[in-house]
Amino acid sequence: MTNEKVSTGIDGLNTMLGGGFPQGQIIALLGSCGTGKTTLSLQFIWTGLQSGEKCIFISLEEGEADIISNAMNYGWDLKPHVENGTLTLVKLEPSDAKSTLAKIKSELPAYIKNTGAKRVVFDSISLLSMLFDSDSERRSGLFELCKQIKNSGATALFTAEVDPDNPDVSRDGLVEYVADGVILLRYNEANNDIHLSVRIVKLRRSNHQRRIKPYNITARGIEVLEKAEVF
Ligand SMILES: Nc1ncnc2c1ncn2[C@@H]1O[C@H](COP(=O)(O)OP(=O)(O)OP(=O)(O)O)[C@@H](O)[C@H]1O
Ligand SMILES: [Mg+2]
């Protein structure tokens, strides 16, 4: 276990994290729809690509073309990286649960190892989680997935939807326990405006900040206003 940090590409968030994501850890990114989970994931991948790191972006929601145009919306041109093999975009079919889960189990660990990927994203782990038949399979399946990713040495980001009745916890109530770190994105309404805020809920073996900070989604991605206070 090293003490190295992996930059998220977002200065304010890196500061909150004590430098970045701890290398080799699995981070869960929780937030309701539109809080910027996919954006932050793409920013994390884009930052890795800038330093020549191999990356894998696994989507259960969008196909390759949509992921590429999503990133392009922020000025991040993924296409050349896909073409030269630095970035692998994977679309998993939630409709075909059995083959998707089998694929993840049998192919993904070897794939991460073989490509030497440093950064892996699952967008979203909630959709993956729903493919399991029972709670116990879900639990053991997610634990197994995490174990394999950790064996590979890659740093991973799992996006997760929140429970509609409690925006502080994930829909499956599980991902925050299997992950090493948890980041929570929230929006609050005030004065007819939506305010986005971020906090680090947990981060194993790291001295991270606990204060809630405001952030914006801009044409250049996410920007955390680390010097500002939310309230
Ligand atoms: N160029 C832009 N400038 C400013 N804000 C933008 C821009 N592009 C997108 N956004 C904002 O980002 C939001 C989408 O963020 P994103 O798709 O990352 O959220 P998400 O948490 O992944 O949502 P979901 O739960 O639906 O997957 C949009 O709803 C919009 O408010
Ligand atoms: Mg999304």
Question: What are the pLDDT tens digits along the chain (231 aa)?
Answer: 568 999 999 999 999 999 999 999 999 999 999 999 999 999 999 999 999 999 999 999 999 999 999 999 999 999 999 999 999 999 998 888 888 998 888 899 999 999 999 999 999 999 999 999 999 999 999 999 999 999 999 999 999 999 999 999 999 999 999 999 999 999 988 888 889 999 999 999 898 999 999 999 999 999 999 888 876
pTM, whole model, 2 decimals? Answer: 0.96
Q: How far apart are the first and last CA of the chain?
A: 37
Cβ contact 16:228 at 8 Å: no
What is the number of residues in the chain?
A: 231
**CA proximity to 197, closest of 169, 220, 225, 167:** 225
Q: Is 39 exposed, middle or buried (0-12, 13-18, 19+ CB in 10 A)?
A: buried
The DSSP string of 72-90 is: HTTT---HHHHHTTSEEEE
Rounded CA separation 149/141 (Å): 12
Nearest CA to ligand 1 atom 30: 34
Q: What is the Å distance from ligand 2's center to 229 Cα?
A: 26
State how far the alpha carbon of 102 is from the alpha carbons of 105, 114, 128, 141, in Å: 5, 18, 12, 11
Q: Which residues, at least 6 apart from 187, have a Cβ–Cβ distance to it below 8 Å?
A: 32, 34, 35, 194, 195, 196, 197
Q: What is the Å distance from ligand 2's center to 182 Cα?
A: 17
Nearest CA to ligand 1 atom 26: 33
CATH topology (fold) of 22-193+202-210:
Rossmann fold (3.40.50)
Q: What is the Å distance from ligand 1's center to 185 Cα?
A: 12
Q: Which residues, at least 6 apart from 7, have a Cβ–Cβ distance to it below 8 Å?
A: 14, 20, 47
Rounded CA separation 137/173 (Å): 14
Rounded CA separation 198/185 (Å): 5
Residue to mutate (ligand 1; options 217, 220, 223; most atoms within 8 A of CB): 217
Nearest CA to ligand 1 atom 13: 34
Rounded CA separation 202/184 (Å): 10
Q: What is the Å distance from ligand 1's center to 195 Cα?
A: 14
Residue to mutate (ligand 1; options 30, 39, 128, 222; most atoms within 8 A of CB): 39
Report domain extents, the chain: 22-193+202-210
Nearest CA to ligand 1 atom 11: 217
What lines the ligand 1 site, CB under 6 Å?
A: 31, 33-39, 73, 217-219
Nearest CA to ligand 1 atom 18: 36
**CA proximity to 120, closest of 57, 171, 180, 174:** 57
